[in-house]
Structure 1
Amino acid sequence: MFARVEAGRQDSGGVSFSRLRRDPQSFLKLILLGFALVGLPLIIALINSAFSIDRLADQSRKAVYQAAQIAHSSRALADEIATMERAVRQTHILGDPSLLDNYFRAHVKFEVMAASLSELSLHVEQKDLLMQLQAAEALIFEKVSAVRQSPAELSDLIGNFALLRDSARTFFSVGYTLIEREVDEMQDMAGYARFTVGWQLLALIPFAILLAFFFSVRIARPIRQIDEAIRNMGQGELYKAIRVDGPQDLVYFGERLDWMRRRLLKLEEQKTRFLQHVSHELKTPLTAMREGADLLVEGVAGELTEEQQRIARILHSNSMQLQRRIEDLLSYSALQAEKAALVRHEADLTQILESVLHDQNLIIMSKGLRIDLSCPTLILDCDEQKIKVIVDNLLSNAVKFSPPGGCIRIWTSKTTGMAQLDIVDAGLGVDESDREKVFEPFYQGRRVLDSHVRGTGLGLSIAREYALAHGGDIELVPQVGLGAHFRVTIPVCDPEVHS
Structure 2
Amino acid sequence: MSARAEIAKQDSGISVGSLSRLRRDPKSFLKLILLGFALVGLPLIIALINSAFSIDRLADQSRKAVYQAAQIAHSSRALADEIAAMERAVRQAHILSDTSLLEGYFRAHNKFESMSASLSELSLHDEQKQLLSHLQTSEASIFKKVSAVKQSPEKLRDLIGNFVLLRDSARTFSWVGYTLIEREVDEMQDMAGYARFTVGWQLLALIPFAILLAFFFSVRIARPIRQIDEAIRNMGQGELFKAISVEGPQDLVYFGERLDWMRRRLLKLEEQKTRFLQHVSHELKTPLTAMREGADLLAEGVAGKLTEEQQRIARILHSNSIQLQRRIEDLLSYSALQAEKAALVKQEANLTKILDAVLQDQNLIIMSKGLRIDLSCPELVIDCDEQKIKVIIDNLLSNAVKFSPPGGCIRIWTSKTAGMVQLDIVDAGLGVDEADREKVFEPFYQGRRILDSHVRGTGLGLSIAREYALAHGGNIELIPKIGAGAHFRLTIPVCDLEGPL
The one-letter code matched in structure 2 to 1:86 is: R
Alignment of 1:445-484 (within 5 A): 445-484=447-486
State the SS of the aligned residue for 1:50.
Answer: helix
> Partner residue of 2:14?
8
1:129 corresponding residue in structure 2? 131
Partner of 1:54: 56
Code of the aligned partner of 1:338: E
1:419 aligns with 2:421: yes
Give, in whole Å, the separation in 1 of the partners of 2:411 and 2:92: 137
Aligned to 2:175: 173
Distance 2:71 2:9 in 1: 84
Sequence identity, in percent? 85
Question: Is the Cα contact below 8 Å between 1:412 and 1:422 reproduced in 2?
Answer: yes
Q: How far does residue 89 in structure 1 lie from its aligned partner after superposition?
A: 2.2
Residues 458-479 of structure 1 deviation map (CA, whole Å, 9 limit, x = unaligned):
0011111111112222222222
Aligned to 2:366: 364
Q: 1:35 to 1:329 in 2, by over 3 A?
A: same
Deviations 1:58-117 (A, max 9, x none): 011111111111111111111221222222223223323233222222212211211211
Q: Distance in 1 between matches of 2:24 and 2:29?
A: 13
Alignment of 1:352-431 (within 5 A): 352-431=354-433
Residue from 326, 340, 343 that aligns with 1:341: 343
SS of residue in 1 equivalent to 2:348? strand
Q: Which residue identity is paired with 1:317?
A: S
- Alpha-carbon deviation of 1:497? 4.9
CA contact (8 A) 1:410 1:423 kept: yes
Could you say which residue in structure 2 is the equivalent of 1:224? 226
Aligned-partner Cα distance in 2 for 1:77–1:183: 24
User: Residue 4 of structure 2 corresponds to which residue in structure 1?
Assistant: none
Deviation at 1:294, TM superposition (A): 2.4
The residue type paired with residue 356 of structure 1 is V
CA distances 1:208-245 after superposition (whole Å, capped 9, x unpaired): 22221121111111111111111111111111111112
Q: Distance in 2 between matches of 1:363 and 1:370?
A: 12
Question: Is 1:105 matched with 2:107?
Answer: yes
When normalised by structure 1's length, the TM-score is 0.94
Partner of 1:239: 241
Which runs of 5 or more residues in structure 2 are unaligned?
1-6
1:355 maps to a residue whose letter is A
Tell me which residue corresponds to 2:90.
Answer: 88
Does the C-alpha gap of structure 1 residues 319 and 27 become closer, same or farther in structure 2, counting only changes over 3 Å?
Answer: same
Q: Is the 8 A contact 1:20 1:248 kept in 2?
A: no
Structure 1 residue 325: deviation in Å? 0.4
Whichever residue aligns with residue 235 of structure 1, its letter is Q
- The aligned amino acid for 1:147 is V
Per-residue deviation, residues 435-493 of structure 1 (Å, max 9, x unmatched)? 22211111121110111100000001111111111222222222211111112222222
Whole-angstrom CA distance in 2 between matches of 1:341 and 1:444: 27
Q: Report if aligned partners of 2:11, 2:261 keep a CA contact under 8 Å in 1.
A: no
* Aligned-partner residue type, residue 67 of structure 2: Y
Task: Give the secondary-structure state (helix, strand or coil) at the position aligned to 2:498.
Answer: helix
**TM alignment of 1:154-165, pairs within 5 A:** 154-165=156-167
Question: What residue in structure 1 maps to residue 66 of structure 2?
Answer: 64
Deviation at 1:5, TM superposition (A): 4.9
Structure-2 separation of matches of 1:2 and 1:379: 54
Superposition deviation, residue 119 in structure 1:
1.4
Say which is worse superposed, 393-402 or 70-79, in terms of deviation: 70-79
Shift of 1:200: 2.0
Determine whether 1:486 maps to 2:465.
Answer: no
Q: How many residues align?
A: 494
Q: 1:3 to 1:462 in 2, by over 3 A?
A: closer
Offset of residue 143 of structure 1: 0.9
CA offsets, 1:305-358, max 9 Å, x none? 322221221111111101110110000000001141112222232222222111
Say whether the 8 Å CA contact 1:352–1:388 is kept in structure 2: yes
Aligned residue number for residue 79 of structure 1: 81
Distance 1:3 1:180, change over 3 A: farther
1:45 Cα offset (Å): 1.4
Structure 2 counterpart of 1:187, one-letter code: Q
Q: Tell me, in whole angstroms, the C-alpha distance in 1 between the residues paired with 2:103 and 2:417.
A: 127
Task: Name the structure 2 match of 1:118.
Answer: 120
The 2-side partners of 1:191 and 1:493 are apart by 80
Q: Which residue of 2 aligns with 1:263?
A: 265
Which shifted more, 150-159 or 301-310?
301-310
Distance in 2 of aligned mates of 1:432 and 1:114: 102
Residue aligned with 1:457, SS: coil
Tell me the residue number matched to 2:199: 197
2:31 matched to which residue of 1?
29
Q: Report the RMSD for the aligned CA atoms in angstroms.
A: 2.1
Residue aligning to 1:184? 186
Q: Deviations over 1:153-183 (max 9, x none)?
A: 1121111112111211221122122222222
Q: 1:30 is matched by which residue type in structure 2?
A: L
> For 1:495, what is the secondary structure of its paired residue?
coil
The more displaced of 188-197 and 212-221 is: 188-197
* Equivalent residues of 2:18, 2:254 under 8 A apart: no
**How far apart are 1:13 and its partner, in Å?**
7.8
> C-alpha separation between the residues in 1 aligned to 2:251 and 2:368?
64
- Relative to structure 2, which stretch is displaced further, 83-92 or 217-226? 83-92
Q: Counterparts of 2:456 and 2:214 in 1: how far apart (Å)? A: 58
Paired with 2:219 and 2:369, the residues of 1 have a C-alpha distance of 62
Q: TM-score, normalised by structure 2?
A: 0.94
Alpha-carbon contact 1:439-1:464 (below 8 Å) kept: yes
Q: Which moved more, 1:122-131 or 1:192-201?
A: 192-201
8 Å CA contact 1:444, 1:457 repeated in 2: yes
Q: Secondary structure at the match of 1:288?
A: helix
Equivalents in 2 of 1:106, 1:3: separation in Å?
A: 106
